[in-house]
Structure 1
Amino acid sequence: MTLFLADRFSAERASLVTRRVFACRLIGTAALTTTFGFTAGRAVADDRAIFGNVRKRRPVAGATFGEGTRLLLLHDKVFRNDVLWTRNGGQLQVAMIDGSTLSLGENAKVVLNDSLSSNTGSSFLHILGGAFCFNSGKAEQPAAPPKIETPFATLSLRGTEVFGGRFDKSYGIFVSKGEVEVRNDAGAITLNAGRGTSLTTRNVPPTQPEVWSDAKVKRARALAGE
C-alpha cells in the first residue's frame, strides 16, 4: 500500500512539473509577442522569390511582410518585398543569392524591392532608417545602374561597396570601392572609392566629395554592423 501511494505521488509530482514547464513556455512566448509585437519562430515558406539568407545577426532582428512579422535567426531565408528591421542593439547581415551582401546596424529598416541581378534601373533597396552597408559583389548589370533609395538621396551604383546612415549630425554616404552617384532634389555628385558626402535634407545638395579618415570609416562600418 505504501509503495502504491509513493508511486502515485511521484506520478502526480512529475505531471505538475510538466504542466509548470509548459505554462512557462507559453508565458514566455506571450511576453515576447506582447513586448515586441511579433511572434517567435521561423517563417513559413511561401511562393515569393528567395533573395538570400541570414549570415550574421544580433538580437533583435526580423522581417515583416504584409501583416506577418517574424524573428530572423541564423541561416533563415529572406524574400522579395520583405521589410528587414533591427531593434536596439540589433544587427543583421544578409548574403543575397545574387552575390551581393547587405549589412544593417541597430534600429534599421529596409525594403527588399528587387534582386540586384534582375534589376532594370529602379531602386532595388529602399532604406527607411538606420545605417547600412551594401556590397554589390559581381551582381550589377552595367547597362542599367541599380539604385538604392535613402531618406536623403538616391544612389546609383557601379561596382560598389557603399555605406549610408546618420553620422555626425547629418546623413553620410561613403564609397569603399566602385562609384556612386548621389542625387537628390537639389543636385548630384559622384563619389569614387575613399570619398564621402553629407546630406541634411532632400532640398539641400550633397556636400562636395571629401576623403574620409580611417577612423571615420571604421566608425561608419561599426554603425552598419560590419
Structure 2
Amino acid sequence: MKKYSLLILVYFIISPSLQAAPLVAGVITQSQGKVFATREGKRRPLFVSSSVFQGDQLHTEKKARLRLLMIDGSQITLGEKTNFLIQEYSFPKGSNSGIVSLNLKQGFFRTITSKFRRTKRRFRIRTALATIGVKGTDFWGGFWSNELFEVALLEGTALEIFNEGGKVVIDQVGFGTSIKASGIAPSKPKQWPDIKLQKAIDTVRFR
C-alpha cells in the first residue's frame, strides 16, 4: 500500500512537466529595439526566428518594432510601447476552420491577414474600447491615448468594429473610425487625409 501511495505522490509532483507544450502561433521575422514576451509570470527576450505561442503577451519598448509571421500566413507588425496578447491562434489539422483571438492592451499594430482557403474562420482583435472582426484584409489600429482608439482599412475587403454602443463596417480603403469609450458606438467611417494615414503607418514602420 505504501508503495502505491509513493507512486501516486511522485506522479503529482512531476505531472506539471508532462503537460502539453504551448501551441506555436507564429515566428518573429523582424525586430527593432527591446522586445520580449511574458507568460505565466516569466519573461523571455524575443529575436528574429523566435517562436511565439498561444498565451504569450508581447511587449515592445520605446522606439521598438516587432513583426510576426503567423502559422496561417498572416503578418502582424507591432509599434513601440505596445502590449499585445495572443489569446488563441488555432488551426487544427484536418479541419476547415480556425480561430484567432488577439488582444491589444496598448500601442499600435498593423495586420495583413492571409487569404484563407478554409470555409470557416473567426479572426478577432479585442481592445478595451472595441472589437475588430476581420475578413482577409490589410488594416491598422492603435491607441493614441487611453480614451482614443482608431482603426483604418489600408487594403482589402472590410472590417467590422463593434462594442456595447454599436457597430460600424469599414468597406472603403483609406477610411477609418474612432472609438472613445466602450459604451459609445464607433464613429461613422470617413476618409482619412493622407497625412493622417501616413502618421498611422509610421507608428509601425521600421527605421
TM band (smaller chain): 0.7 to 0.9
CA contact (8 A) 1:121 1:147 kept: no
How many angstroms apart in 1 are the aligned matches of 2:70 and 2:82? Answer: 18
Equivalent runs, 1:159-174 vs 2, <5 Å? 159-167=136-144, 170-174=148-152
May I ask how many residue pairs the two structures share in their alignment? 181
Look up the match of 2:164: 185
Q: Does 131-140 or 73-82 show the bigger shift?
A: 131-140
Answer 1 or 2: which has greater strand percent.
2
Give the % identical residues: 25
CA contact (8 A) 1:164 1:173 kept: yes
Equivalent runs, 1:69-218 vs 2, <5 Å? 69-115=43-89, 117=91, 124-139=101-116, 141=118, 143-167=120-144, 170-176=148-154, 177-192=156-171, 193-218=173-198
Question: Normalising by structure 2, what TM-score?
Answer: 0.79
RMSD: 2.3
Displacement, 1:225? 3.5
Deviations 1:161-209 (A, max 9, x none): 1211124872110011221111011110101132100111111111101
How many angstroms apart in 1 are the aligned matches of 2:119 and 2:175? Answer: 22
Look up the match of 1:48: 22
Look up the match of 1:41: none
State the 4+ residue runs in structure 1 displaced beyond 2 angstroms. Answer: 116-123, 139-145, 166-170
Deviations 1:11-70 (A, max 9, x none): xxxxxxxxxxxxxxxxxxxxxxxxxxxxxxxxxxx8211111111111110111102101
Query: Unmatched 5+ residue regions in structure 1?
Result: 1-45
Look up the match of 1:7: none
Give the partner amino acid of 2:59.
Answer: W
Q: Does 138-147 or 84-93 show the bigger shift?
A: 138-147
> Cα–Cα, structure 1 residues 134 and 80, in superposed 2: closer, same or farther, change >3 Å?
same
Larger Rg: 1
How many angstroms apart in 1 are the aligned matches of 2:91 and 2:179? Answer: 28
